[in-house]
Structures are given as C-alpha cells and as structure tokens.
C-alpha cells in the first residue's frame, strides 16, 4: 500500500483529499483522458447493454475508466474496461486492505483490475471500513479525478445524481444516456439532460469531446469477416434467438451453431438470456 501524490485534476476541486492510498499503477494524466462511469445498482438490461456498448467503442484509445467498484453499473463498467483492454481505476467507499475492501463480493474484480495494470484508489486509511458517509465523500474523488463523467442510469434521488452534481460543480463535462420515459432507472438521466448534461447515444460522442474523433485506435479491433459471418452480423440489428438467425440467413441450425461458436470466440457476438447480441 502506497500513498500517492494528489493528481492535478483532483487538486483543482474545492475540497481535495489530503492524501491518497493506492494499490497498483495510477495512469499518467499526461498520457490518458479519465472518464468516470457511474449508474444505478438496480440496473436494467438496457443499462447493462448501453454501458458495455459505449465502453467497447472506446477500445484502443488512451482513456481510463474510473468507477466505484459498487454492485451494478460500476461493476459492469470495470468489467467492460477489462474486456476491452482499457485501464480502469476503482475508487471504493472503504480502505484498500483486502480485509475491508467493499463490497466483499467484488474483491475478485479488484484483483483482476490490479492484474490488468489498473489501480485501486482511496483517501481512507487502508483498514477503514465503509460507512454511510464514506460513499458520498468518495463520490467527490470520482467526480474530481476525471475529465468527464458518464451517467448510464440513475434514479432521481441517488448517489449517482450526487456524483453528477459534483462533476458539474467542478466544471467537468457530464454525459447522460437517454432512457425510456417509463423506466424509473432513467428518470435521473433524463432529468440531467433537461438540466444541461450532454446526451450520449454512441461512443463517438465521448471520443469527440476528448479530441480523438480523427484518430485511429491504437489497436484496431477490426477484423476481416467471412461471408457467413457478415450475414449474421447484418441481421443482428437487434437481439435474436438462434432459430431466428437461422431463418433470416437461411442456414441449417447445425451449421449455424458451429458458426456462432466461432464468432463468440472471436468476440464478435455474445449470447445472453437465449439471444445473440452483436459486439
């Protein structure tokens, strides 16, 4: 466990932490843009898919994903960053010692973050146990350490809204994903947009803000598709079952299953709840 110098962005906020404890490697502010990604613990399928989709679109660019290690969208954001080889920073509401790291169910995720070259960050003493007040306090670190904050889903009264408000107070960009007017999980994000947050519907919206629009990703994710693979990609404009895909591409289910298995291994598609999704 080491103490770290306070990053420049954090020094700019009105109430910067007096000290930071770190496990792992803190990325350089000179080399990376920092994006805090937050959202509801009670996420919807839509929220999960959007989070994974947007972070996947940032792959290959010098962007660090910051989140709070909490259950829900935070965990999804960290895992999506790992899956797409992006550096990620976790800022828990506890100290960083394994005995107190919160939530305990995400200690395996924390280890994966460290193994991938990311870091855990906290202003609390290493053995400090999370309390009700420690989460709002750590939220200001999440808002302050990043150039921008992306809100995936949020109820109107939530810690996510607090973090977004802090980011605004610190004169940082706030992005919000529009959602259904019938979904409680989108009430907060829709309200943030009404208040002036920038709506995000694609990764390019974020890349444009960071000035990466005209740059190629450092490691291209593109690969040549075979004719049959292209057919599957073309029909997956929405999630489909294997039988639905077979009907649309006019292929036997036996041949299709072999093809889909190969495409999953390549990271082109994934199956969830009995339906295939395009990646």
Among 122, 178, 171, which residue's Cα sits nearest to residue 146? 171
d(CA 84, CA 55): 8
Map out the domains of the chain as residue ranges: 2-210, 227-278
Vertex 278 angle, CA 154 and 113, to 5°: 60
End-to-end alpha carbon distance in the chain:
37
CA distances from residue 170 to 16, 17, 147, 188, 268 in whole angstroms, order as listed = 11, 14, 10, 19, 39
Q: Which two tokens stand for residue 160?
A: 């996510």
Q: How far apart are CA 178 and CA 175, in angstroms?
A: 10
- Can you give the pLDDT at residue 245? 95
> pLDDT of 232-276, one tens digit each?
988 987 889 999 999 999 999 999 999 999 888 877 888 888 888
**What is the residue-averaged pLDDT of the chain?**
90
Q: Per-10-residue mean pLDDT for the chain, 279 residues long?
A: 77 92 92 95 91 92 96 96 94 96 96 95 96 94 96 83 91 95 90 94 94 64 73 87 94 92 84 85
CATH class name, domain 227-278? mainly alpha
| Nearest residue to 162 (alpha-carbon basis) of 182, 133, 205 | 133
pTM reported for the whole predicted model? 0.79
Tokens of 117: 């070259």
SS3 67: strand
Which residues is 88 bridged to in the sheet?
65
In the three-class reduction of DSSP (H, G, I as helix; E, B as strand; rest coil), residue 28 is classed as coil
**CATH architecture for residues 2-210:** 3-Layer(aba) Sandwich (3.40)
Residue for token pair 């965990």: 75
Total Cβ atoms within 10 A of residue 203: 18
The answer to whether the CB of 23 falls within 8 A of the CB of 54 is no
Q: What is the pLDDT of residue 222?
A: 45
Is 161 within 8 Å of 188 (Cβ atoms)?
yes
What sign does the dihedral 185-188-194-200 (CA atoms) show?
Answer: negative
Contacts of 239 (CB under 8 A, 6+ apart): 272, 275, 276, 277
Q: Alpha carbon of 246 to those of 111, 180, 249, 268: distances in Å?
A: 40, 31, 5, 17
């Amino acid at each position: 466990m080491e103490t770290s110098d306070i990053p420049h962005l954090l020094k700019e906020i009105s109430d910067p932490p007096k000290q930071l404890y770190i496990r792992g490697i803190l990325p350089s502010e000179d080399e990376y843009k920092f994006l805090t990604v937050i959202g509801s613990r009670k996420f919807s399928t839509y929220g999960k898919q959007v989070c994974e989709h947007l972070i996947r679109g940032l792959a290959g660019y010098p962007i660090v994903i910051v989140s709070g290690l909490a259950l829900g969208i935070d965990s999804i954001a960290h895992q999506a960053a790992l899956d797409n080889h992006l550096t990620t920073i976790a800022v828990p509401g506890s100290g960083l010692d394994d005995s107190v790291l919160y939530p305990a169910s995400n200690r395996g995720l924390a280890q994966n973050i460290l193994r991938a070259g990311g870091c855990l960050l906290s202003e609390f003493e290493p053995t400090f146990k999370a309390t009700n007040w420690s989460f709002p306090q750590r939220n200001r670190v999440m808002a302050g350490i990043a150039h921008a904050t992306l809100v995936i889903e949020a109820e109107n009264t939530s810690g996510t809204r607090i973090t977004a408000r802090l980011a605004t107070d610190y004169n940082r960009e706030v992005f919000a994903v529009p959602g259904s007017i019938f979904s409680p999980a989108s009430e907060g994000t829709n309200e943030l947009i009404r208040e002036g947050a920038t709506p995000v519907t694609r990764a390019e919206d974020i890349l444009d803000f960071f000035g990466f629009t005209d740059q190629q990703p450092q490691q291209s994710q593109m690969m040549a598709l075979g004719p049959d693979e292209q057919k599957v990609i073309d029909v997956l404009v929405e999630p489909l079952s294997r039988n639905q895909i077979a009907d649309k591409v006019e292929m036997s289910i036996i041949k299709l299953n072999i093809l889909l298995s190969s495409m999953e291994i390549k990271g082109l598609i994934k199956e969830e709840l009995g339906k295939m999704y395009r990646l």
